[in-house]
Each structure stands twice: as structure tokens, then as C-alpha cells.
Amino acid sequence: MNVPEKRPKSFGEYIALLEEYQSKSGGVLWFRGTGKARHPLLPTLYRHKRHRTAAALGDLERQLIVRFRQRSIPFLTSSLADDWDMLFFMQHYGVPTRLLDWTENPFMGLYFAVMSSPFRGKMKAGQPVLSFRSDAAVWMLDPVAWNRHALKHQGFDRGILTPSDETLQSYRPKTQFPEMNVQPVALYGAYNSPRIVAQRGAFTIFGQNLKGMEKAYVKEKFPKSCLTKIVLKRSVLPAMRAAILNHGITESVVFPDLDGLAKEIKRGFEFEF
């Protein structure tokens, strides 16, 4: 059984799809937007071109944490409590980790899908015309159902984890890979930046399984409704992009800092192509 796919043709259909799934789930859903639909649900650390084994990636993670801790000290405005805080902080700044970003906000998921999808642009009759190069996607995850299946060997029957949870000890930073649990699990992290707050950020953290979540879903026979792929065909992306921006999910909202403001002004004055 492959991951179920849905293909909304408009912003309205996307909202209707969300309402359908939210009414069925009875709980929280998470979303992850990607500008290329074919990209796997895999964290950056596991995408390394040369290091491909669990042992090599475990050693690489330890080296990255040590190097970042050593070099980041002059730039920190407050101390980081432990290695979990360090891991979330590294993820925020784009250092490769075992974390994969999600959001509780379905419109943030759509924003990241349509705004990161590559396109060609030109002006026609005084208006920008965008031609997208590939399909995008919004992945939809039921984190509670996912965790209960991923940790069923432990009799786990609760919900979303936090770093202080004993169940997460086998996923803690710098753990030897053979001591980790196998499947990725869903957790809330430290809200240690305005961006994470604005984006309603959440995470999955990976263990011994070096494959994407979509492959684990199939191989391990996860519950059908716990993962869905919403494919946005490239033909609908211009309208989807315009809709999400027109509904107020813009750069300065997603990135509440000067970088976000600058991106928004740049787009507003037609400097993006």
C-alpha cells in the first residue's frame, strides 16, 4: 500500500480537503511543504552524499554538534540548556541534523510548498507570469497515530513527545546508532526563536532507519490515515501561490525578522525574477 495521494486543483479544494481530514482525525495534524513533490521525507543529515551508513552518520552527527558548540559561543545571546537545545538551535540555522521540520499550520505548509517551488518568471502586459518547473507537495501527518505505531513494540499509547520524555532517551543527540529506536517519531521542540513560534514548528526525529518516512509507512504498514501526500500539480501552483499570499501568509509573517521583511519587499517590487 502506497502513501495515499490527493490532488486539489484550487485553494478552495485544499481547504475542503483539510476540513475533511481534520474532522476525521479528531486530533492535531501536522504539515510539511516541499517545492519538489518527489523529495523524500528525510532529514538533511541522512542526505549526505558520502556518509551512507548508520555508523558513519552517527559519527558525523557527533562531530557537527561538537563543532557547532565550539564555534557558536560568541554569537549566542543566551546559554543552551543541553544537547537537545543545541540540536534544535542547529536545525534552526540550517546545520544538518536528524530532525525534520513540520508545522501545525496547514497554510504554513502550503506556503513552503508553493514559495520554494522553482519557477521561471516574466512580465506580460505589466503583470508577472510564473511558469513552475515541477509539482510541489504538502505532506500531512497524524503525529499521534504515527508515534503509537512507531513505538508499538514498547506498548506506547500516548501522543506527541517532548525532549524530557523518557521514551525519547534513545533518540537523544550523540547516542550511538545501535542504541536508538528504529523509526522516526514526532516531538515538540524548544521554541527558541521567533521563527519557530510564527511557523508553529514541530519535528520528527529519526533513528536507525535511514529511509524516508514514506518508505517506512509502506514497509512497516503504518495506519492508512496517518500520512497523506497532497500533490500540487505545477499547473495549479501560480493560482495557489497568489491565494496564499493574498490570504496574508507572506514572507514577513513566516519569517518575522528583517530577512523576511526584505524578501517581502523584494517580491512586492518585482525583483524576484
The predicted-structure confidence for 11-35, as pLDDT tens digits, reads as follows: 999 999 999 999 988 889 999 999 9
Q: What is the pLDDT of residues 178-227, one digit of tens each?
A: 889 999 999 998 777 788 888 899 999 999 999 999 999 999 999 998 99
Q: What is the pLDDT of residues 143-190, one digit of tens each?
A: 999 999 999 999 999 999 999 999 999 999 988 888 899 999 999 987
E-strand stretches of 70-200: 99-103, 119-124, 127-132, 136-141, 185-187
* Beta pairing partners, 202: 102
Helix 83-92 to helix 54-72 angle, to the nearest 10 degrees? Answer: 90
When comparing pLDDT for 122 and 169, which is higher?
169
Look at residue 26 in the predicted model and tell me its pLDDT.
Answer: 80
Look at residue 166 in the predicted model and tell me its pLDDT.
Answer: 93
Rounded distance, CA 210 to CA 16, Å? 34
Q: Mean pLDDT throughout 93-114?
A: 96
Helix 106-115 to helix 237-246 angle, to the nearest 10 degrees? Answer: 130
Q: What is the pLDDT of residues 34-87, one digit of tens each?
A: 999 999 999 999 999 999 888 899 899 999 999 998 898 888 877 777 889 889
Look at residue 206 in the predicted model and tell me its pLDDT.
Answer: 96
DSSP state letter for 264 = H
Look at residue 178 in the predicted model and tell me its pLDDT.
Answer: 87
Rounded distance, CA 116 to CA 96, Å? 19
Look at residue 216 in the predicted model and tell me its pLDDT.
Answer: 97
Half-sphere exposure of 248 (CA within 13 A, CB side): 0
pLDDT tier at 254, thresholds 50, 70, 90: very high
pTM here is 0.93
Reduced to 3 states (helix: H, G, I; strand: E, B; else coil), residue 96 is: coil
Look at residue 171 in the predicted model and tell me its pLDDT.
Answer: 94
| For residue 103, pLDDT beyond 90 | yes
Q: What is the pLDDT of residues 228-252, one digit of tens each?
A: 999 999 999 999 999 999 999 999 9
